[in-house]
Amino acid sequence: DIPELIDSCIRGKLKEAYRDTVVSTVAQKGALLLEDYHPGRILEKVLLAKPEEILKDIEDAGLRGRGGAGFPTGFKWRLAMEEKGDLKYVVCNADEGEPGTFKDRFLLHKHFSRVIEGMCVAAYVIGASKGYIYLRGEYSYLKERMEETISQWKKDGLLGEDILGKKGFSFDVEVRMGAGAYICGEETALIESLEGNRGEPRNKPPFPVDTGFLGDPTIVNNVETFLWASLICEKGVEFFQQYGTSKSKGSKFFSVSGDCRREGIYELPFGITIDKIVELSEGVDIKAVQVGGAAGECIPKRDFHRTIAFEAVPTGGSIILFNKDRDLLDVAENFMEFFVEESCGQCTPCREGTIKILEGVRLLKEGRCSMSHLEKLMELSETIELASKCGLGQLSVKAFKSIVENFKEEVLGRLPEEG
């Protein structure tokens, strides 16, 4: 019984703080409700197989990156595996910075061993000997505990030289702190930061799989992607594939917040409708749902039948509900302020364009933006999308554009009367 399950998970805990939010799930065999996990046991099994066999499972499962872009994980790992060279790296992107996203914090807090195990699996497959976890600056309170877990893994022979007696398989993991810049969640900016440089995105290609950390082959995956990789190795391809759509297999963790009674972390299958998420989280009088955080789309109620999947409405996991009393121009202003603040400033469309859009939103709010100026803002948004160097700039106007396009009546009602 789904409501009962959610109830038992959530009741009484969520309003205190997100720090200790708990998982609720519509998946009856939800991944994190499994209680028979023992650190290292998956690795024991994995090391009995050849790297190619493990990679085939990840590919067959159809695992796609859980950070938001949905790139096929197996393919990324294969590209890195096929690269020559002794030095390869596995990087866990724990720089979770998307507004409204807090599922990785939960996974790092409660299921960190599974994440390490996924990193070990990746290292075994691609032939890496060093791993880094790039932890969001604001999550520094998690660091000590994570390092204790890593030390325990080393003591137990699960990290270090010749892991579990497997000659030639050595892998070590280190936590590195971010310093509060959203852009460092972009993988090449993250790598720059890991190298000790200013966190600015590089041109892609080359991709990190061939030219990553210190110029060597590197895979960068989201926290949740590693967790699912370990689960696929433990429970098998069929377990993973029991949920999802043909192009977005499995279930996913979502951070649900906003105007609802049941904020928190949900494990939900891909293909779920927005309507269902509103229902499960007990949203009240919801008129809009922001899917994908500040970099995502603002969906109006008439489109709540749309589904969450990489081929439909994609998200790294952020779902924010807005009720009928919310001014969506406040939302647009808030997100644009965020991007103005977080733009690394390297390229003009993003650095200057986001400021112009923010100014425009403020004019709209004050009833001083003409129709022709609004049209110019929409044109500028397209330029920013097309000409920005990295995902931050390209996605910075998505919320603004979708608010104007999907809530025309509300936005046009703010234009000054003609004459």
The verdict on 392 binding ligand SF4 (CB under 6 A) reads yes
CA 27 to chain centre: 20
Number of residues engaging ligand SF4 in binding (CB under 6 A)? 14
Cβ closer to ligand NAI: 65 or 258? 65
Beta carbon of residue 274, minimum distance to ligand NAI (angstroms, whole number): 17
Beta carbon of residue 212, minimum distance to ligand NAI (angstroms, whole number): 9
Q: Which does 262 bind (CB under 5 to 8 A by kind): ligand SF4, ligand NAI, none?
A: none
Identified binder of ligand SF4 from the candidate list 91, 108, 135, 183, rule CB under 6 A? 183
Q: Which does 118 bind (CB under 5 to 8 A by kind): ligand NAI, ligand SF4, none?
A: none
Contacts of 29-37 with CB under 8 Å at 24 or more apart are: 29/239, 29/242, 30/251, 30/267, 31/227, 31/228, 31/231, 31/251, 31/267, 32/110, 32/111, 32/267, 34/235, 37/113, 37/114, 37/234
User: Distance between CA 23 and CA 106 in Å, rounded?
Assistant: 9
Rule CB under 6 A: which residues touch ligand NAI?
A: 65, 67-69, 71, 76, 79, 96-98, 101, 185-187, 207-209, 220, 292, 295, 316, 391
Identified binder of ligand SF4 from the candidate list 278, 286, 369, 390, rule CB under 6 A? 390
Q: Which does 351 bind (CB under 5 to 8 A by kind): ligand SF4, ligand NAI, none?
A: ligand SF4
Beta carbon of residue 393, minimum distance to ligand SF4 (angstroms, whole number): 3
Identified binder of ligand SF4 from the candidate list 350, 361, 380, 403, rule CB under 6 A? 350
**Interface region with ligand SF4, contact rule CB under 6 A, candidates 51-59, 220-228, 287-295, 383-391:** 383-391
Q: Six-digit token pair at 83? A: 């690269």
The verdict on 331 binding ligand SF4 (CB under 6 A) reads no
Beta carbon of residue 418, minimum distance to ligand NAI (angstroms, whole number): 39
Beta carbon of residue 343, minimum distance to ligand SF4 (angstroms, whole number): 4
**Interface region with ligand SF4, contact rule CB under 6 A, candidates 103-111, 133-141, 344-352, 362-370:** 344-352
Cβ closer to ligand NAI: 169 or 388? 388
Contact (CB, 8 A) for 376 and 353: no
3-state secondary structure the chain: CHHHHHHHHHCCCCCCCCCCCCEEECCCCCHHHCCCCCCCHHHHHHHHCCHHHHHHHHHHHCCECCCCCCCEHHHHHHHHHHCCCCCCEEEEEECCCCCCCCHHHHHHHHCHHHHHHHHHHHHHHHCCCEEEEEECHHHHHHHHHHHHHHHHHHHCCCCECCHHHCCCCCEEEEEEECCCCHHHHCHHHHHHHHCCCCCCCCCCCCCCCCCCHHHCCEEEEEHHHHHHHHHHHHHCHHHHHCCECCCCECEEEEEEEECECCCEEEEEECCCEHHHHHHHCCECCEEEEEECHHHCEEEEHHHCCCEECCCCECCCCEEEEEECCCCHHHHHHHHHHHHHHHCCCCCHHHHHHHHHHHHHHHHHHCCCCCHHHHHHHHHHHHHHHHHCCCHHHHHCCHHHHHHHHHCHHHHHCCCCCCC
Q: Which does 100 bind (CB under 5 to 8 A by kind): ligand SF4, ligand NAI, none?
A: none
The verdict on 190 binding ligand SF4 (CB under 6 A) reads no
Residue nearest to ligand NAI (CB): 68
Identified binder of ligand SF4 from the candidate list 315, 343, 402, 406, rule CB under 6 A? 343
Cβ closer to ligand SF4: 209 or 347? 347
Contact (CB, 8 A) for 192 and 344: no
The verdict on 346 binding ligand SF4 (CB under 6 A) reads yes
The verdict on 352 binding ligand SF4 (CB under 6 A) reads no
Q: Which does 271 bind (CB under 5 to 8 A by kind): ligand SF4, ligand NAI, none?
A: none
Q: Which does 101 bind (CB under 5 to 8 A by kind): ligand NAI, ligand SF4, none?
A: ligand NAI
Cβ closer to ligand SF4: 30 or 353? 353
The verdict on 365 binding ligand SF4 (CB under 6 A) reads no
* Cα Rg of the chain, angstroms: 22
**Interface region with ligand SF4, contact rule CB under 6 A, candidates 66-74, 124-132, 212-220, 341-349:** 341-349
The verdict on 222 binding ligand SF4 (CB under 6 A) reads no
Site residues, ligand SF4 (CB under 6 A): 183, 201, 343-347, 350-351, 388-390, 392-393
